[in-house]
């Protein structure tokens, strides 16, 4: 049970730090999680071809949210307030990115995000 909780927390933290390192080099930044962040963004935008203007706007959104993310200490789990803040910022970032997309692209984006969330293990309340 303890290893499952650790796995769930690790997966959630990976998603939480993704906006902060999405533009970093593969495997770079924040303990080498840059590759995960890039895969997360690729998964959200899978099947969507962005125009140069859309890509520039999304890059700007990512940078803005990167600057808002509370810092993480490598090797330490963030407290519940920090996790909540990160998840809220990620939710807002996803909505801002979604607003850049066309209606057809939004449909694909929504499915991609739902698929990602469905694959995430669920934490029992209070853990």
Cβ contact 48:87 at 8 Å: no
Q: How many domains does the chain have?
A: 1
The answer to whether residue 83 sits within a structural domain is yes
Question: pLDDT tens digit string along 69-121?
Answer: 888 788 888 899 998 998 898 899 999 999 999 999 999 999 999 999 898 77
The answer to whether residue 20 sits within a structural domain is yes
Question: pLDDT tens digit string along 28-56?
Answer: 333 334 555 678 788 999 999 999 999 99
User: Token pair 């910022």 is at which residue?
Assistant: 89
The answer to whether residue 17 sits within a structural domain is yes
**H helix runs in 1-127, sequence order:** 2-21, 34-44, 52-68, 80-100, 103-119
The answer to whether residue 13 sits within a structural domain is yes
pTM of this structure: 0.66
The answer to whether residue 74 sits within a structural domain is yes
* Biggest distance spanned by C-alpha atoms of the chain: 47
Structure tokens at 121: 């293990």
The answer to whether residue 127 sits within a structural domain is no
Give the domain range for residue 61: 2-119
The answer to whether residue 75 sits within a structural domain is yes
């Amino acid at each position: 049970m303890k290893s499952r909780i650790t796995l769930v927390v690790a997966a959630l933290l990976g998603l939480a730090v993704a906006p902060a390192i999405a533009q970093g080099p593969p495997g770079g930044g924040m303990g080498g999680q840059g590759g995960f962040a890039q895969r997360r963004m690729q998964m959200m935008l899978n099947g969507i071809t962005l125009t140069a203007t859309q890509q520039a706007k999304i890059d700007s959104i990512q940078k803005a949210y990167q600057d808002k993310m509370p810092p993480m200490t490598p090797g330490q789990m963030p407290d519940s307030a920090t996790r909540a803040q990160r998840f809220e910022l990620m939710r807002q970032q996803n909505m801002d990115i979604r607003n850049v997309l066309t209606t057809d692209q939004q449909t694909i984006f929504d499915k991609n995000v739902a698929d990602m969330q469905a694959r995430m293990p669920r934490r029992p309340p209070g853990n």
